Amino acid sequence: MTLRHLHELEVTAASQPLGTSRLPADGVGVDLGPHGYREREFLAAGTAGEYRHRDGVLEQMGEQPYVTRVLVRAPTAERFNGVVLAEPLHPDYDSASTWQTAHPWITGTGAAWVGITQDHRMAATMREAFDPRRYGELSIPAAGLRWDVVGGILAALRTPARSPLAGLADRVRHVYLSGWSNTGSFCRVFLGDGFHQRHRLPGGAPAVDGYLIGISSGAAGAAGYPPLGDGSPVLPDDDPRRVIGPADVPVMEMLSELESETHRPALREDSDAPGDRYRLYQVAGTSHDNPHLWPVLTNRTQFARRGHDVPLRRINERLSDARMDAVARAGYALLHRWASTGAAPPRVERFSYADPEGAGAVQELARDERGNVLGSVRTPWVEAPLAAYRPHSTPAPGYCRPSPWAPMGTAEMVAAMIGHADPLPACELRALYPTRRHYLDRYEAACARLTAQGLLLEADARALLAAARDRALPHLPDEAAGTAAVQEKGTRS
């Protein structure tokens, strides 16, 4: 299991990586220039073990050579804060779900980001169908190689001679591994099957200093704990590896309502024990797929530009305005503080289930009289509700076809991962909020509570409040009109 060498690929306006940071003509992506960041891309060659489960035991079946690609976004040495947020890139167009979620925190703090191609199908697609000239050497010949492919890059990040961070390698102090959905489940397997222990630094310290596992239900079959390789069966539902176990670094899980419906058998208690630092945050009013983040990534646009049939996602219902990413960015800040200073994050109650003794693969969450979930991270959109937030939707006719490289079965399954909001009736809104000011005060108080807990960063609180103040609320009178209406009602009485 070795990383032999790196080869840097040219990045210019005419020659861009898949998933490049920005496509200005298409209005997608993130402009790195104002943040003082530079994008670089490398091919990395080495050997990796191939693994499978046999009778519940991890088995290595030898090693094979690989060539993967590593995408890097980093500031100047003067601005670099020593933190690296790394992620295994998602099989859906090799997209960067951690960058999509966390980029404001990354660029705002001076951290670096590293994305690693790990899916063997996507490597073949990039080589054969996306850009044969740029990615002609790319080769991950088997699914079971992915764990060592990623682990080898992580272990090399602090080694100047082998690190894709080049001149920043000797300044790296903390490396965190994070993924969302499929790549969140990658992180679960990386921990559960011992790859965290295998990939260490010289002297034995861990290559990864903490994990944030996003929207991955440990109890959701192969989706929650992917098989190690093509010849490996899916873990049994009751296998203990589906539950995050003790580790020598802090581990944080973050779930929306959707994953929480299946995660119940994999729930465990929070812990501050030195060898078992763990937190779970379930975020009220959120779902698996956040349409507000779609314009952050460029991958689908790039595939469409090259003539590929890229499925569009539209639903019949009104898209949710929930922002799980705002809570997630606070999660990254809390994880870094925990790993670097030992300061433990807050504990938060969990979601309740409609049937306390319920069983089955999918279990309904308990909800209030308006239809919003009870418990856990109390976001402002459920604490000052204008709608009932639902984690599932239905596909508009002709939309939400599964991706050909990460198929999810049917359009109905794709749409079921997208949240929507059912607006509350006007009469109910007026009963909740006599005036617009009452709504804004309640929303602001919810933001303040989360900020005080550390579960919402000040910048995100300001952005949420600004959006709330700009929101059209035709059913609610302004403060002056509301006061006049109350006075007139009193006079008539």
How far, in Å, CA of 466 to CA of 345, rounded? 27
Do residues 204 and 245 make contact, with C-beta atoms less than 8 angstroms apart? no
User: How confident is the prediction for the chain on average, in pLDDT?
Assistant: 94
Segment 289-304 shows an average pLDDT of 96
pLDDT of residue 489: 45
pTM to 2 decimals?
Answer: 0.95
Q: pLDDT for 331-387, tens place per residue? A: 999 999 999 999 999 999 999 999 988 778 899 999 999 999 999 999 999 999 999
User: Any idea which of 141-145, 229-233, 333-337 has the lowest mean pLDDT?
Assistant: 229-233
What is the pLDDT, as a whole number, of residue 196? Answer: 97
pLDDT greater than 60 at residue 482: no
- Check residues 54 and 229 and name the one with the higher pLDDT: 229
- HSE at residue 471, side-chain half, CA atoms within 13 A, is 19
**pLDDT of 488 higher than 90:** no
CA distance 153 to 117: 10
pLDDT of residue 409: 83
Nearest in space to 372 (alpha carbons), one of 316, 414, 331, 432: 432
In the numeric block, the tokens 């999810």 are attached to 408
* Count of CB atoms situated within 10 Å of the CB of 7: 12
Please report, for residues 81, 155, 209, 286, 461, the alpha-carbon distance to residue 205 in angstroms, rounded to integers and kept in the order given.
20, 10, 9, 36, 36
- Find, among 353, 375, 374, 356, the residue nearest to 364 by Cα: 353
Q: What is the pLDDT of residues 236-268, one digit of tens each?
A: 999 999 999 999 999 999 999 999 999 999 999
- Strand 276-282 and strand 210-214: pairing? unpaired
Q: What is the pLDDT of residue 406?
A: 62
Across residues 415-424, what is the average pLDDT? Answer: 97
Predicted local confidence at residue 2, as pLDDT: 73
Average pLDDT value for residue range 138-161: 96
Q: Match 């790993």 to its residue by tokens.
A: 339
Question: What is the tens place of the pLDDT at every residue in 2-49?
Answer: 777 889 999 988 889 999 999 999 999 999 999 999 999 999 999 999
